[in-house]
């Protein structure tokens, strides 16, 4: 009996060690997409033109880091946006929690332009039946070189209509200390094909004036691997 108990204990320890080892192995993923417009918080970043985007992510034991880039068109020399980010995800009381930071860099920006900035992020989400509900907050002390302190609050949800088709939407509010605050929202459908390809069709709008913040439909084809 002691021998059986010792063997069972050894097997349990071996399984625990193997699980810990598996969790400590970094997971790397890549993504590439083509969009009819790059919309950030309800505002076009490409002057209503198409964008090529792509990124890479690495995750290990709850920690993650990554980089993402998109073509840009601000009407000046700016060619691209490059985001560098990192953070930590965990589960608390049934909620998936994500805390991290994002560094926004702008390639080819005009001399003297102070577009680059950093945002802190905190998010939580939870599945309620087939629906995922979430909230996210971003904070920065230097928003795009124009505003100092700025917050962005968002409530979002996603509903799995089928294993391949998901409906999702979000409502966000951007607070600014120099420019006017505004609210933005979007709703759309995402269809995931069996071989890593997905298509997203989405409607965006805001309550602020301007040709780049008017309502628009955006289509995107993505490849994730």
Both tokens of 71, joined, read: 């073509």
The per-residue pLDDT for 186 is 98
HSE, side-chain direction, 13 A CA sphere, residue 11? 6
Q: How far is Cα 7 from Cα 14, in angstroms, rounded to an integer?
A: 10
Q: How far is Cα 42 from Cα 127, in angstroms, rounded to an integer?
A: 26
Q: How far is Cα 184 from Cα 174, in angstroms, rounded to an integer?
A: 8
- Residue 29 makes CB contacts below 8 A (sequence gap 6+) with 56, 57, 58, 59, 224, 225
Q: How far is Cα 169 from Cα 154, in angstroms, rounded to an integer?
A: 10
- Let me know how many helices (H) and strands (E) the chain has, helices first: 1, 14
Both tokens of 218, joined, read: 């955006």
CA distances from 216 to 88, 213, 220 (A): 33, 8, 13
Residue numbers of the chain with a pLDDT score lower than 50: 1-22
DSSP state of 11: H
The per-residue pLDDT for 148 is 86
The per-residue pLDDT for 6 is 38
């Amino acid at each position: 009996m002691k021998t059986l108990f010792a063997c069972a204990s050894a097997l349990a320890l071996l399984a625990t060690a193997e699980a810990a080892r598996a969790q400590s192995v970094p997971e790397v993923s890549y993504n590439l997409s083509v969009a009819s417009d790059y919309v950030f918080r309800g505002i076009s970043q490409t002057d209503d033109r198409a964008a090529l985007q792509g990124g890479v992510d690495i995750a290990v034991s709850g920690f993650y880091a990554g980089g993402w880039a998109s073509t840009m068109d601000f009407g000046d020399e700016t060619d691209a946006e490059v985001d560098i980010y990192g953070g930590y995800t965990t589960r608390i009381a049934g909620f998936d929690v994500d805390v991290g930071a994002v560094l926004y860099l702008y390639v080819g920006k005009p001399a003297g332009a102070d577009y680059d900035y950093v945002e802190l992020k905190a998010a939580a989400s939870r599945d309620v039946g087939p629906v995922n509900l979430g909230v996210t907050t971003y904070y920065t002390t230097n928003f795009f070189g124009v505003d100092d302190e700025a917050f962005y609050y968002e409530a979002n949800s996603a509903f799995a209509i089928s294993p391949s088709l998901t409906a999702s939407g979000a409502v966000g509010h951007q607070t600014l200390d120099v420019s006017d605050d505004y609210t933005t929202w979007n709703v759309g459908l995402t269809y995931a094909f069996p071989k890593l390809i997905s298509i997203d069709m989405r409607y965006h709008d805001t309550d602020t004036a301007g040709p780049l913040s008017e309502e628009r439909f955006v289509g995107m084809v993505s490849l994730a691997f």
